[in-house]
Structure formats: C-alpha cells, structure tokens
Amino acid sequence: MEYTVFRTDGQGGLRREQVSAAPLPSDGVRVAVRAVGLNFRDSYVIRGNRYRAPLKDAIPMTDAAGVVAAVGSAVTRFRVGDRVCSTVLPNWIDGPLSAHGMARSTAVLAEYFDAGENDLVAAPPHLSDEEAATLPVAALTAWHAVAELRVLAEGDTVVVQTTGGVAVFAMQFAAAMGARVIAVSRSEEKLRRSGAWATINTEVYPEWDQQVLALTKGEGARLVLDMGLNDSLRRSARAAAYEGTVAIIGVVQEQTNPLDIYTVMNKNLNVRGVETGSRAMFERMNRFMAQHNLHPHIDAVYDDVDAGLDRLASSPYGKVVLSLRY
Ligand SMILES: NC(=O)c1ccc[n+]([C@@H]2O[C@H](COP(=O)([O-])OP(=O)(O)OC[C@H]3O[C@@H](n4cnc5c(N)ncnc54)[C@H](OP(=O)(O)O)[C@@H]3O)[C@@H](O)[C@H]2O)c1
C-alpha cells in the first residue's frame, strides 16, 4: 500500500510524497487521518519565525483524529474502525513528566500514520473528527493548567490571556468547573464571544493586572494562565492572589519576558510551567468533556495547509483544523 505524507521543505512550504507502508509491528496501529488540528508551533515549524528557521524534511503537526485502519497481531486496546486521537508525547502515559516522557513526539500530517497502541486515546464519541483533532495539544494543555494542577475550585477566579486555541479551552473548562473567568485579549470582538465573567481589553488597559485586582476587590486571581504577552510575567504575578498560581503556558510574543521575583516571594506565589499532558490526563479530560457535553470552538476548517496556517496567523478565536483530501 502507498500513501501520502507531507514534509517541510525548509523554505516555508511543504512537499507531498508517496511512501510505501511499512509492515506493522505486533503492537502497532495504523491510523487513517480524518482531521488535523493546527497549533501555534506548527506555524514556525513550517514557516519559521524571527528566531528560528523552518525545519527541513520533517513531517509536521501532532494533532490528529482518525480511524484505525489496521492493527498488529498483539494489539488489545483498539480494533479496526475505532476512532482515535494522537497524543503529542506518547511516552508520557501517567504520573509526573520525566525525560523519558519528553523523549518522543508524534508526526501526523499524512494520509496515514503508524503508532504504538499505547500512543493513542479513544476519540470522545460526542465529538466530530474535526472537533476531536483539536484536543491533543491545546485542550490538553488547558486541562492540565485548569484542572490537573488542582489549584482552582468552584467560585475561584482564573485569568486567561488571549483567545486562541489553548485559551478558549481553558475558559470552557474553568467555567464548567464553576470558576469565574477573566479573559484578557487584544480583541474586543473576541472578548465579547468569550462569554467570560469579566473581560479586559489590553488595547484599552495595557495595565490589565490592575484591572484584575479591581475586579476581584483587591484579592487577585487564584490562577493566572500566562501566554507570554508583552511584559506578562510581571503582570501575571501582580494579578495573582496571595498563595495563587501563575501557570506558564506559552510565549506568543516569541521572546520570554522577566518575572518580578519580589512579587512572587512576597505573595507566596507558585509559578509553574505547564507542558501539554499525559495520556491519563487526556483520558480524564475526555470524560469531563463528555460529562459536560463540551464541544471545542472551531474557528474554521480548511482543506489546504497554507490557508489553515494563514488563518492561524490572523489570531482566530479557538481552533483551526485541516480536513485534507488526498
Ligand atoms: N505549554 C504547552 O504545552 C503549550 C501547548 C500549546 C501551546 N502552547 C503555547 O501557548 C501559546 C498559545 O498557543 P495557542 O495554540 O493557543 O495559540 P493560537 O491559537 O495561535 O492563539 C494565539 C493567541 O495569542 C494572542 N496574541 C497576543 N499577542 C500575540 C502576538 N504577538 N502574536 C500572536 N498572537 C498573539 C492572540 O489572541 P488575542 O487576539 O485574543 O490577543 C492569538 O489568538 C503559544 O505560545 C504556544 O506555543 C504551549
């Protein structure tokens, strides 16, 4: 059998290749890709940015939903026809993150990809293929920060910066847990769509941390999801409550920014990095989404990779998804 894969050409584009299917190992699962979710990093992997050259000869993208097309003789977790999602760090099954957990990733921009049976999770039955393809990175990272850190309780306040893929999931999860969401964004239109308990437009209030304090009667937020806005780490620490947590998720400005260690120290803050999540977290998230009938916010679905990447670069609300024909 032959099938199509896409590889980065190192010049901001992709080239299409036909490859012959390798024999499946006994624990292997071949997945027919139905939809691919785009993430912030996919853009610089393919197109590069000010600080990084595009990768050459790599199959990009990590987030796929698909159908099991074939299984090896020893596979017990899945059967042909099952709907599955990829995992971004397939070695991280459960428990704390380790070097082993970080050692391997996934590459899914292809008609089929082969995985070990332990590398996949069942796609939530209440979600379409396009919806399920948004989960492996953005939803899981948001779930990790909002639920798995176990710092946010019903009635607590959480600040979520931006209205991109991770942020919109974080708002959905936090609201479903009964928390009060304060959304922080450059876009008034997207803030209106967020349905958050309160919103702060950074174009109007660059000192958004002061607004968080005003909205919380001086108390601050129990949890702040920091996406690396301009000067955001200092502001996130100021916006957090005493004994609160600043979860460092990303750097949308391309460069990191300084942390005010005095605020961290004086407020007993917990400043915590958040790397995607384990397969066990993914499965707990899927159960939560099914229980609360949560559906991802999909901004748009494209059948062309360039069009999808262009949309991603234009600050969509929620997720951009590819549904490719071969
Ligand atoms: N730690 C992890 O495991 C993990 C996982 C996924 C993503 N991330 C990181 O988290 C960040 C957000 O990822 P995402 O997938 O949610 O991204 P995304 O869907 O592309 O959304 C990015 C959002 O950031 C806001 N933004 C503010 N300043 C920006 C700027 N200068 N350039 C681009 N966007 C800007 C925009 O929202 P507004 O218009 O509302 O301001 C935009 O919609 C990225 O840094 C990404 O690398 C980390």
At residue 302, the pLDDT reads: 98
**Which of 313, 223, 265 lies closest to 41 in space, CA to CA?**
313
**Which of 114, 113, 32 lies closest to 67 in space, CA to CA?**
32
E strands, 75-220, where? 83-86, 112-116, 120-122, 157-161, 180-185, 198-201
> Could you identify the residue written with the tokens 């990175």?
137
> Could you identify the residue written with the tokens 């332990």?
118
At residue 191, the pLDDT reads: 98
Query: At residue 151, what is the residue type?
Result: V
Q: Whose CA is nearest to atom 37 of ligand 1?
A: 162
At residue 33, the pLDDT reads: 98
CA 323–ligand 1 middle distance (angstroms):
22
Q: Whose CA is nearest to atom 8 of ligand 1?
A: 250
Rounded CA-CA distance 213/241 in Å is: 9
Q: Is the CB of 253 under 6 A from ligand 1?
A: yes
Ligand 1: atom nearest CA of 190 is: 40
Strand 198-201 to strand 63-71: parallel, antiparallel, or no bridges (unpaired)? Answer: unpaired
Rounded CA-CA distance 296/143 in Å is: 13
Task: Give the pLDDT of the chain (326 residues) as one tens digit per residue.
Answer: 999 999 999 999 999 999 999 999 999 999 999 999 999 999 999 999 888 899 999 999 999 999 999 999 999 999 999 999 999 999 999 999 999 999 999 999 999 999 999 999 999 999 999 999 999 999 999 999 999 999 999 999 999 999 999 999 999 999 999 999 999 999 999 999 999 999 999 999 999 999 999 999 999 999 999 999 988 999 999 999 999 999 999 999 866 778 889 999 999 999 999 999 999 999 999 999 999 999 999 999 999 999 999 999 999 999 999 998 87
Query: At residue 228, what is the residue type?
Result: G
Fold of the domain built from segment(s) 2-136+296-322: Quinone Oxidoreductase; Chain A, domain 1 (3.90.180)
Determine the longest span between alpha carbons in the chain, in angstroms: 64
Same CATH fold assignment for domains 2-136+296-322 and 150-273: no
Best mutation site among 36, 38, 40 for ligand 1 pocket (most ligand atoms within 8 Å of CB): 40
What does the block give as tokens for 68? 């099991």
- Structural domain boundaries in the chain: 2-136+296-322, 150-273
Rounded CA-CA distance 173/189 in Å is: 21
Ligand 1: atom nearest CA of 320 is: 19
DSSP per position, 215-265: HTTT--EEEEEE---TTHHHHHHHHEEEEEEEEE---TTSS-----HHHHH
Q: Whose CA is nearest to atom 20 of ligand 1?
A: 40
CA 226–ligand 1 middle distance (angstroms):
10
CA 38–ligand 1 middle distance (angstroms):
12
Select the CATH number that applies to the domain covering 150-273 from these four: 3.40.50.720, 1.10.3720.10, 3.40.1080.10, 3.20.20.210: 3.40.50.720
Cα-Cα-Cα-Cα torsion 111, 275, 314, 312, nearest 10 degrees, comes to 0
Q: Whose CA is nearest to atom 11 of ligand 1?
A: 250
> Could you identify the residue written with the tokens 């006994």?
26
Q: Is the CB of 162 under 6 A from ligand 1?
A: yes
CA 118–ligand 1 middle distance (angstroms):
29
At residue 253, the pLDDT reads: 84
CA 250–ligand 1 middle distance (angstroms):
7
At residue 51, the pLDDT reads: 84
What does the block give as tokens for 58? 């790599």
CA 71–ligand 1 middle distance (angstroms):
36
Q: Is the CB of 300 under 6 A from ligand 1?
A: no
CA 227–ligand 1 middle distance (angstroms):
6
Rounded CA-CA distance 115/22 in Å is: 12
Q: Is the CB of 136 under 6 A from ligand 1?
A: no
